[in-house]
Structure 1
Amino acid sequence: SSYMGKLYISGKDADETVTKLLTRDITNTENQFVYSLMLNKDAGIECDVVATKMNGKSGGNEYYITVPTAAAQHCRFHIQKLIQDHTLHSSVQDRTEETSILSVQGPKSCQIYFRVLYVLYKLSASLSLLDCFIFHLYPFPNRLSFVGELGFEIHCSSDHVNKIYAAVMEVVNRHNGCMAGSRAMASLSTEAGFHHWPTSINSNDNPIEARLLKSCSPGTTYLGGEALEKLRSTPNQKLLACFTIDRTVGVKLSIWMKKVSIAQRDVIFKVPMTGSEIIWRNNKKVGFLCNADYSYSLETSIGYGYVKIPSVTDNTITSGDYEMERMGEKYPAKATIATPYLPQLTKMFAMT
């Protein structure tokens, strides 16, 4: 996953910068990744990020923030503006090309983790990789996952990533592992209920609407914190929901199959959803899907969208009758407030 953008914040006021920038405090989380948000003054979500505190190349502290590649320049501008607005003595650098990320995910990743760590230790010694470091992911305390399964990430210098990749894949191949592309990650992360910027979250959405309030510390020390506190007592005008199409839906084949019998025309197939489908609730349009994909675990399409109804609540969402409109056809759908795929994400905490 070297496609991620990598931003570094350093300088005398680096601590104050990230305190104002992020919705969670990471000033005491050295070498531990923390999922957090960047908000604007109105509490709109500028981006979701993963960040940690680390020792910089010059010996001082700096903050390492990974962001979606599509958001790298957007995030850099947002951070730079915050620094300038508050006259802080800090800087933000985009070192995406200098740093690479290898992601090992899946139920067997725990079995190979320590072997990979040993291989990396030997490799680092032979390459003198003083700036090569490994961050765990679930199931241990400072771990993150983007696919709803066990896993870990290796963050390293791009100068040595090819050798590190070869060494890691040698271990992975012994355990029948294989390469998986970005489409696999997109499907798995959607199935697990993770957000995708700028589709399921962007500056038009706040953490309450996006169900990300747990990623926001109470208080107003960070940008947007004051606005967020006010929103806590304000009725929601929209709220994120998860939608699944009924596993099988009987449909008529198109006109070019008109010579086929009625019985043959009634086929059972999985309705694909890709995003932008219209959400109908009780025969009224209430929004559209922000992002969607196919869930291989649930064997149906799964998507997320905001239900826009004045004073909407969780009970409002779960009590309605839903349909998804795709290419002029409506299909029965089910709405839930969390992904039906292991809502508590227990696989990410399992040890085996």
Structure 2
Amino acid sequence: MSLPNQADVVIIGGGVAGCSIAYHLTKIGITDVVLLERKQLTCGTTWHAAGLVGQLRATRNMTELAKYTAELFKGLEEETGQATGFKQNGSISLALNDERLEELKRGASMAKNFGLEVNVISTGEIAERYPELNVEDAVGGVFLPADGQVNPIDVTQAMAKGARSQGAKVLEGVTVTRILKEGGKAVGVVTDQGEIRADKVVICGGMWSRDLAARIGVNVPLHAAEHFYIVTEPMEKLKANLPVLRVPDECAYYKEDAGKLLLGCFEPVAKPWGMDGIPEDFSFDSLPEDFDHFEPILEAALNRYPPLAEAGISLFFNGPESFTPDDRYLLGETPEVDNLFVATGFNSIGIQSSGGVGKVLSEWIRDGHPPVDLSDVDIRRTTSFQSNKNYLHDRTVEGLGLLYAMHWPFYQYQTARDARRTALHDRITAQNACMGETAGWERPMWFAPAGVEAKMEYSYGRQNWFDYTGAECRAVRDAVGLFDQSSFHKFLLQGKDACKVLNRIAANEVDVPIGKMVYTQFLNERGGIESDLTVTRIAEDQYLIVTGGAVQTRDFTWLKRHIPDDAHAFLTDVTSGMPMIGLMGPNSRALLQDLTGADLSNEAFPFGSSQELELGYAKIRASRITFVGELGWEIYMPAEFATHVYDRVVEAGGAHGLKHAGYFALNACRVEKGYRHWGHDIADEDNPIEAGLSFAVAYEKEGGFIGRDAMMRARDQGTPARRLVQICMEEDGADAPLLYHEEPIYRDGVLVGSTTSGMWGHRLNKSLGMGYVRCDEGVTKDWLDSGIFEVEVAWQRHRAKVQFAPFYDPKMERVKS
């Protein structure tokens, strides 16, 4: 087949993801599709995948995508006539200790939110399902009957065949050398056989994706790592159709196939590969054996499944797979180049993700926006430094093993750390801070008292920092806490059209007097929340926009793409040059007045206002706002004055009870106060009415705003059927379960929703959370008050109080004191 000159969509890469996208594009009527594979389909990493098809993931939409994949595979052979080897033989995850069982039980409870069948089973039941498995030291596990396995090559060929039958062109032996970019948009590709112009381009190049994208300035942070498994010779005692078995405490998985057993691993210290680039001629290749590296896994497996000792090994395999810095794949339109999409970096779950990825990305290409909230895997969550080769190499050493490590709450990466520092880093660490990481930023999570090591000790219960964070929260309540919030991202929008442009993007009214702060959201055309932030008018033609630490690329891209080409408005990221300190608590006013000599009374400095003041030798911007629910100010300063301002604050703070506070305290306080966190409590599928944020929507403002029509329709429909609520567990003290996310919520024994976030509220001494609940007739106060609510945590239900208002300072008396 000859190379066409033009296509609607060009897909680069013929692995399982690329073929799935081609298949799904044709399913929705986009048939002018060209898929280009440099060698042969599946020849990169797909061909040697283990072919596990698991469905339970960490969040709702990731699980829905995996569920869809299993359903697709179930009928694909009948549809295309191409065998896939798919079978739903179920999967077992075995726990060797109580903490692992707690993790599995929490996941099992979460599965109920998704309608996914899951059973918590005893060691005896596991032994029945998996004969001769050694369960003497195990404590239990979970069984998912709808999980299964598939032949990766066959299922890829089936999707390619399905795509061809609907008109797509699948061309092998064509190497893409460069992506064509014009006017900030992808317009086609250059190959070793000529050019193809296209409206959309999709990179599905696996471990080649990073370098291909980098040629046109696009960041696709992933790195290859060696991945090991063995396949035995036929085993007489091996029962056919055994469930897929995972023993995460031994880093191992087992798959029976045609009388043989495949044993693979995700070892805790991995071996990155391809540091000098991936060879262009790499095709159906394997890497050198390293039996010493695999031997500890095999030794544990011989104890776990004794028949292995009698089996011969027919294959010792080592092949590369690509991993991302946070073990989540990369999906969506790139922030740097319009009309360029990616689906890559699958972290060894490419097969089980492929169907769902193909479906949602094809719809994204068609509609211009994701069909569901995909923030977990959206490539806009990454930042440019994360494509650094050294960073990727070092993080990959840890990342592969984390797939089977304990998924602790509040886990902090150990590798590729201590590089992205705030201007106050040395001052903060000198206070015995336990540092964590968000988007590469080193941030204080909690502060250890003198003589205590500032080190995380993980648990699903109260971790070692619990009491220290409690002391920080109480200091914020009773005196004043200092937060280094420099990792909050700051953008400057300037120009004579800045007000007009921003007022169109923001849902709230931002045409306000100079010095006024506005809390607002950026909405999409469907009314979903794309961003949650504050805007301060600092001049007639200038706005300071402040958003969270993990959404820098996403929010900057959203703003930039919605500035009209002919507008006199210019956007600059000023984060690095503008550190910020939060001073929060009832003594914050007196402390700042001592430092600045300014009148900070409610009359002179009302809530929601911002002023320039002098502090020490510096000129600062003080903004009266809070994310912890107390009287407080955010202090912005030039980076070169950061340590000077900090030193003056700390020197004067002793007289006012100043205490350093970390991000665990910040999170605990914001949950008590019911402040939403984008990516957890609100996202692009949630509208402000459902989220209880309609007070921040200026429905009638002149010129309207993006999403106004959708919001007007939602408002006119009356009481919403879905609402965000505040949750307080009724149990007290150590008996109260800790909430994290996706715990099922029941009303009168009926599943009505799930949690979105949770934390212990130290100011109230209660376990708290937030979550969405649903009632088709409308979620009203009477409906909440008239029901008995329970939250399920680790397979057990606990009574809870549920309400719309925050449990802490619901009347805003402390904030506005």
TM-score above 0.5: yes
Alignment of 1:1-352 (within 5 A): 1-55=485-539, 61-84=541-564, 87-118=566-597, 121=614, 123-124=616-617, 129=618, 132-137=619-624, 144-219=625-700, 221-235=704-718, 236-248=720-732, 269-314=735-780, 315-350=782-817
User: Contact between 2:615 and 2:645, CA under 8 Å: does it hold in 1?
Assistant: no
User: Contact between 1:241 and 1:317, CA under 8 Å: does it hold in 2?
Assistant: no
User: Contact between 1:32 and 1:135, CA under 8 Å: does it hold in 2?
Assistant: no
Distance in 2 of aligned mates of 1:53 and 1:271: 43
Q: Specify the SS of the correspondent of 2:811.
A: coil
Q: Report the CA distance between 1:317 and its aligned residue.
A: 2.5
Distance in 2 of aligned mates of 1:276 and 1:66: 28
2:655 maps to a residue whose letter is R
User: Contact between 2:506 and 2:523, CA under 8 Å: does it hold in 1?
Assistant: yes
User: Contact between 2:725 and 2:803, CA under 8 Å: does it hold in 1?
Assistant: yes
Distance in 1 of aligned mates of 2:717 and 2:753: 20
1:37 maps to a residue whose letter is Q
Q: Specify the SS of the correspondent of 1:232.
A: helix
1:94 maps to a residue whose letter is D
Q: Specify the SS of the correspondent of 1:97.
A: helix
Q: Report the CA distance between 1:212 and its aligned residue.
A: 0.5
Q: Report the CA distance between 1:45 and its aligned residue.
A: 0.7
Q: Percent identity?
A: 24
Distance in 2 of aligned mates of 1:196 and 1:32: 23
**Matching residue of 2:379:** none
Distance in 1 of aligned mates of 2:804 and 2:615: 46
1:112 maps to a residue whose letter is L
Q: Report the CA distance between 1:302 and its aligned residue.
A: 0.7
**Matching residue of 2:125:** none
User: Contact between 1:35 and 1:51, CA under 8 Å: does it hold in 2?
Assistant: yes
Distance in 2 of aligned mates of 1:9 and 1:53: 10
2:616 maps to a residue whose letter is L
Distance in 2 of aligned mates of 1:11 and 1:344: 38
| Residue-by-residue CA offset, 1:254-304 (whole Å, 9 max, x unaligned) | xxxxxxxxxxxxxx6222112221111121111110011111122211111
Q: Report the CA distance between 1:222 and its aligned residue.
A: 1.0
User: Contact between 2:595 and 2:615, CA under 8 Å: does it hold in 1?
Assistant: no
State which structure, 1 or 2, has the greater radius of gyration over its C-alpha atoms. 2
1:10 maps to a residue whose letter is Q
Distance in 2 of aligned mates of 1:70 and 1:25: 25
User: Contact between 2:673 and 2:808, CA under 8 Å: does it hold in 1?
Assistant: yes
1:270 maps to a residue whose letter is A
User: Contact between 2:755 and 2:769, CA under 8 Å: does it hold in 1?
Assistant: yes
RMSD: 1.9
Distance in 1 of aligned mates of 2:729 and 2:813: 24
User: Which structure's relative contact order is higher, taking Cα pairs within 8 Å and 6+ residues apart?
Assistant: 1
Q: Report the CA distance between 1:199 and its aligned residue.
A: 0.6
Q: Report the CA distance between 1:87 and its aligned residue.
A: 4.5
| Residue-by-residue CA offset, 1:165-196 (whole Å, 9 max, x unaligned) | 11111111222211001111110111011111
Distance in 1 of aligned mates of 2:633 and 2:622: 7
Q: Report the CA distance between 1:237 and its aligned residue.
A: 2.9
Distance in 2 of aligned mates of 1:341 and 1:104: 19
Q: Report the CA distance between 1:122 and its aligned residue.
A: 5.6
TM-score, normalised on structure 2? 0.37
Distance in 2 of aligned mates of 1:29 and 1:183: 35
Sort the Cα spacing of 1:75 and 1:311 in 2 relative to 1 into closer, same or farther, 3 A.
farther
2:785 maps to a residue whose letter is T
Can you give the 5+ residue segments of structure 2 that lack an aligned partner in the other structure?
A: 1-484, 599-612
Distance in 1 of aligned mates of 2:504 and 2:699: 13
Distance in 2 of aligned mates of 1:78 and 1:87: 17
Q: Specify the SS of the correspondent of 1:218.
A: coil
Sort the Cα spacing of 1:113 and 1:123 in 2 relative to 1 into closer, same or farther, 3 A.
closer
Distance in 1 of aligned mates of 2:615 and 2:547: 30
Distance in 2 of aligned mates of 1:122 and 1:199: 36
